[in-house]
Chain A
Amino acid sequence: MVHQLSLVSSIPHNKYLQTISTLQALTGLVQPQPISTYTLISKPSTVFKPKFEPGKVNQIEQYFMKCITNWRDDSIDISKPILKDGDIVSARRLFRPDDKTERVWTLQISDIPIAGKNQGCCQQTVYESTLVHTHTRIDLNLEDKVKEGKDDFEDFIEIDPPEDSEVDSKKTEDALAEQRRASFLVFLQDLGYEVINQFWIKGIRFFHGDIIIEIFKVLIRDDTTANNSTAERIKLKLLDESNTFQIRVYMNVSKSTDVEQINHGTKELIKLQEFLKNLFILEIPDRIFMDSRVTLTK
Chain B
Amino acid sequence: MVTAVLLVQKATPETITQFHDQLSNELPTSKGKWNFNFKIFRNNPYSIPPDLVETTTTSPESKFLFTLSPSYLPDSTITLVNGKSAGVFTNLIEEEASELSHPTELTIPNEHLHRGATTGLNDRFDIFVGQKLQSLWTQRQIIKGDGGQIYELENGNLCIKTSNVFLHGNFRGLLIQIDLNDHLCDTKNPDSFKQVFDKVSEKYGIPPGNLCCEVLDTKYLDKYGDLCFQYSKILNF
Interfacial residues, chain A to chain B (CB-CB below 8 A): 1-2, 4, 33-37, 44-51, 60-63, 65, 68-72, 104, 106-107, 109, 126-138, 181, 186-187, 190-192, 201, 205, 214, 252, 254, 297
Contacts and interface: CB of A to CB of B under 8 A. Distances in A.
A46 B87 contact: no
B117 A60 contact: no
Contact of A37 (B88, B117, B225): B117
Nearest to A178: B220
Contact of B84 (A46, A137, A205): A137
A104 B224 contact: no
Contacts, number: 169
B59 interface: yes
Nearest to B49: A46
B224 A135 contact: yes
A194 to B, nearest CB: 10
B132 interface: yes
B135 A48 contact: yes
B123 A1 contact: yes
B50 interface: yes
Nearest to A183: B85
Interface residues of B, number: 55
B234 interface: no
Interface in B127-184: 127-128, 131-137
24 contacts: A1-B121, A46-B59, A49-B57, A51-B46, A51-B57, A60-B135, A62-B135, A70-B111, A104-B112, A106-B118, A129-B77, A131-B87, A132-B106, A132-B107, A133-B88, A133-B106, A134-B86, A135-B85, A181-B217, A190-B84, A191-B133, A192-B137, A205-B116, A254-B121
Contacts of A190: 81-82, 84-85
A190 B136 CA distance: 11
Nearest to B86: A135
Nearest to B215: A137
Contacts of A2: 119, 121
B89 interface: yes
A49 B84 contact: no
Contact of A128 (B86, B87, B115, B123): B123
Contacts of B77: 129
B122 interface: yes
Given A69-B117, A70-B111, A191-B136, A129 B125 contact: yes
Nearest to A184: B87
B84 A136 contact: yes
Contacts of A104: 108-109, 112, 117
